[in-house]
């Protein structure tokens, strides 16, 4: 196989659970001598005292280091190679971001420390906020939401508060059938009914359908742009006009902002409110599923409804948190959001500057188009509309041989890559959603393309090799049905024997 120059197996150690290494008397901690009189916990706590911590492990430091180091080698990260997970924007995580986020004065700052000792932290929040407003073309912002979906919740609560202030919160939110699952879930929490909006043959919002569906019961349209096909909604100005003409608002899911930064601004094309995913566009690490950060930016008319608190600059240049905002939707999270992610995102923006941010977007779009060009025909391209930062193929050709998108994904692992996003967006049956990001060199892209071509070839000639994939991993094709039917969600001592 031509992709074989990439794929190799490597030595991985077997490693049980940390509990299975435990035995009484082993320890990895040492506390300083107590400099106050010892206490009798029994006397202080009475019935509230705990004497036993159950099956918590007892292990030494070297065992901890080996355990988690070995586990780490079972993982695939952006550091390992191309991670083309569409819509997730798995880009390089700069090490300087990690370094500055751990600086003592920032990492150890207490959120309730006196304001005058917090000026540096507040300045970081203010500077990041200003940069994000410029990048999005919006007019006000909160950094408080802890992730994209939390940003959606914040944004839709603001929409609702804005409409309520005008006398009617309205009843429903329109969501295209290509949207992320978080969008409908968010609308439901905010008390809205979800109405599906069909995409047209080009994979975009069907403007005439929108025109028919839009009425005074609609609070907002939640639109991802570019959408989950990686397609820019070319009629965005018409979409905004249709919403606005009937008093609704345009919410933009900013998950795909990596395709737009420095090239176009949602505020300029009449988006009213949007969230950003700092862990996508601004390179804060995904960390195996978080932490993220989902700032929400909005137009001036929505500013009074931003969650508490908001950073404000005083006449003397000092900064403080403003809690005196009677129209606010309230607080969406304790303290001020995922500050550590704000530090990293700002470090990323500073490392790029205006020229670097634009070049990043251009390279991301260039990479996706390059993959599209080289794999078109090998895999079916259901939508011919121009591609931005990601491209969605379907498995139709391969499915005819019994090979589905999930199988191709598993086989890709043997070729040394993380799979693309499978089976999403829902409007493409058997979708293969590929987002290379700007972090990939031409050499890495070529290797990936060769692997995808080789797999297509295998689908023709020896589909079983794909159906049995992956072949090179520690485990292969976990029984997910069994896992859900009889959930085993924690370790118990009896499992030690069973595992042997």
Partner 1 sequence: MRYLPKSPSDREAMLREIGARSIDDLFSHIPAEYRLNRDLKVPRQMAEAEIVEYFRERGAGTAADHASFLGAGVYQHYRPVVIDALVSRGEFFTAYTPYQAEIAQGTLQSIFEFQTMICELTGMEVANASMYDGSTAVPEAAMMAARITGRHAAVVARTVHPEYREVLATYVQHDGMKVNEAGYGENGRVDAGAVERAVSDETACVVIQSPNFFGTIEDVSAIAEIAHRKGALLVVVIAEAVSLGIVRPPAEADIVAMEAQSFGVPAGFGGPFCGVLATRERYVRQMPGRLVGETRDRHGRRGFCLTLSTREQHIRREKATSNICTNQALVALMATIFLSVYGREGLKELATHNLAKAAYAAGEFGKRAKVLFDGAPRFHEFVVATEEDPHELNRRLLEKKIVGGFPLKKFYPELGNASLWCCTEQTKRESIDAAVEAVRA
Q: 221 or 343: whose CB is closer to partner 1?
A: 343
Q: 45 or 400: whose CB is closer to partner 1?
A: 45
Q: How far apart are CA 251 and CA 159, in angstroms?
A: 9
Q: How far apart are CA 235 and CA 258, in angstroms?
A: 20
Q: How far is the CB of 293 from partner 1 (least distance, A)?
A: 8
Q: How far is the CB of 65 from partner 1 (least distance, A)?
A: 6
Closest CA to 274 of 436, 426, 135: 135
How is residue 85 annotated by DSSP? Answer: B
How is residue 287 annotated by DSSP? Answer: T
Specify the length of the chain in residues. Answer: 500
Handedness of CA 236, 238, 243, 244 (dihedral sign): positive
The CA dihedral of 9, 13, 17, 21, to the nearest 10 degrees, is 180
CA 10 to chain centre: 29
Q: 332 or 392: whose CB is closer to partner 1?
A: 332
Closest CA to 437 of 256, 300, 290, 284: 256
Residue whose tokens read 């500050």: 339
Q: 26 or 212: whose CB is closer to partner 1?
A: 26
Q: How far apart are CA 417 and CA 438, in angstroms?
A: 16
Q: 315 or 475: whose CB is closer to partner 1?
A: 475
Q: How far apart are CA 227 and CA 388, in angstroms?
A: 9
Q: 209 or 234: whose CB is closer to partner 1?
A: 234
Q: How far is the CB of 359 from partner 1 (least distance, A)?
A: 5
CA 422 to chain centre: 16
Q: How far is the CB of 315 from partner 1 (least distance, A)?
A: 21
Q: How far is the CB of 349 from partner 1 (least distance, A)?
A: 6
Q: 290: how many CB neighbours lie within 10 A of its CB?
A: 13
Q: How far apart are CA 36 and CA 38, in angstroms?
A: 6
- Pairing assessment for the beta strands 172-176 and 140-142 based on DSSP bridges: unpaired
Q: How far is the CB of 354 from partner 1 (least distance, A)?
A: 4
Distances (CA, A) of 214 to 172, 186, 195, 241: 10, 20, 10, 11
Q: 74 or 464: whose CB is closer to partner 1?
A: 74
Q: How far is the CB of 91 from partner 1 (least distance, A)?
A: 8
Whether 246 and 216 have beta carbons less than 8 Å apart is answered as yes
Q: 360 or 394: whose CB is closer to partner 1?
A: 360
Q: How far apart are CA 178 and CA 298, in angstroms?
A: 23
Q: How far apart are CA 57 and CA 301, in angstroms?
A: 54
Q: 315 or 489: whose CB is closer to partner 1?
A: 489
Q: How far is the CB of 205 from partner 1 (least distance, A)?
A: 14
Q: 402 or 460: whose CB is closer to partner 1?
A: 402
Whether 374 and 390 have beta carbons less than 8 Å apart is answered as no
Q: 247 or 340: whose CB is closer to partner 1?
A: 340
Q: How far apart are CA 375 and CA 303, in angstroms?
A: 45
Q: How far is the CB of 473 from partner 1 (least distance, A)?
A: 4
Whether 405 and 411 have beta carbons less than 8 Å apart is answered as no
Peptide bond into 309 cis (omega under 30): yes
Helix (H/G/I), strand (E/B), else coil: 296: strand
Q: How far apart are CA 320 and CA 105, in angstroms?
A: 18
Q: 131 or 205: whose CB is closer to partner 1?
A: 131
Whether 493 and 55 have beta carbons less than 8 Å apart is answered as yes
């Amino acid at each position: 196989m031509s992709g074989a120059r990439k794929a190799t197996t490597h030595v991985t150690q077997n490693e049980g659970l940390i509990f299975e290494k435990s035995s009484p008397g082993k320890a990895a901690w040492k506390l300083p001598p107590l400099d106050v009189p010892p206490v009798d916990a029994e006397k202080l706590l009475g019935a509230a005292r705990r004497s036993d911590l159950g099956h918590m492990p007892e292990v030494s430091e070297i065992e901890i280091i080996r355990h988690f180091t070995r586990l780490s080698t079972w993982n695939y990260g952006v550091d390992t190679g191309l991670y083309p997970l569409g819509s997730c924007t798995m880009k390089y995580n700069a090490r300087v971001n990690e370094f500055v986020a751990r600086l003592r004065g920032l990492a150890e700052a207490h959120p309730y420390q006196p304001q005058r000792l917090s000026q540096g932290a507040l300045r970081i929040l203010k500077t990041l906020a200003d940069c994000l407003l410029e990048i999005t073309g919006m007019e006000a912002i909160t950094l408080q939401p802890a992730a994209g979906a939390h940003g959606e919740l914040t944004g839709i609560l603001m929409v609702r508060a804005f409409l309520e202030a005008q006398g009617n919160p309205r009843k429903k939110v329109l969501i295209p059938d290509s949207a992320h699952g978080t969008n409908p879930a968010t609308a439901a929490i905010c008390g809205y009914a979800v109405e599906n909006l069909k995409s047209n043959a080009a994979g975009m919002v069907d403007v005439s359908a929108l025109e028919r569906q839009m009425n005074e019961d609609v609070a907002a349209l939640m639109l991802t742009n570019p959408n989950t096909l990686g397609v820019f909604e070319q009629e965005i100005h018409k979409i905004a006009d249709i919403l606005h003409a009937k008093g609704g608002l345009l919410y933009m899911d900013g998950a795909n902002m990596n395709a737009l930064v420095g090239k176009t601004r949602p505020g300029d094309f009449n988006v009213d409110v949007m969230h950003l995913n700092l862990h996508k566009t601004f390179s804060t690490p995904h960390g195996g599923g978080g932490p993220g950060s989902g700032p929400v930016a909005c137009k001036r008319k929505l500013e009074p409804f931003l969650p508490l608190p908001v950073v404000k600059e005083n006449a003397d240049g000092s900064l403080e948190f403003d809690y005196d905002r009677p129209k606010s939707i309230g607080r969406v999270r304790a303290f001020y959001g995922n500050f550590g992610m704000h530090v990293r995102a700002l470090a990323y923006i500073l490392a790029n500057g205006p020229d670097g941010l634009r070049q990043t977007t251009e390279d991301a779009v260039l990479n996706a188009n390059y993959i599209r060009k080289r794999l078109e025909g090998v895999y079916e391209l259901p939508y011919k509309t121009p591609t931005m930062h990601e491209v969605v193929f379907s498995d139709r050709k391969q499915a005819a041989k019994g090979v589905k998108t999930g199988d191709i994904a598993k086989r890709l692992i043997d070729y040394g890559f993380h799979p693309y996003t499978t089976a999403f967006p829902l409007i493409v049956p058997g979708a293969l959603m590929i987002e290379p990001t700007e972090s990939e060199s031409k050499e890495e892209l070529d290797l990936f393309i060769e692997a995808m071509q080789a797999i297509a070839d295998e689908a023709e000639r020896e589909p079983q090799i794909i159906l049995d994939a992956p072949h090179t991993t520690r485990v292969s094709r976990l029984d997910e049905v069994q896992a859900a039917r009889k959930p085993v969600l924690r370790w118990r001592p009896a499992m030690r024997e069973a595992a042997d």
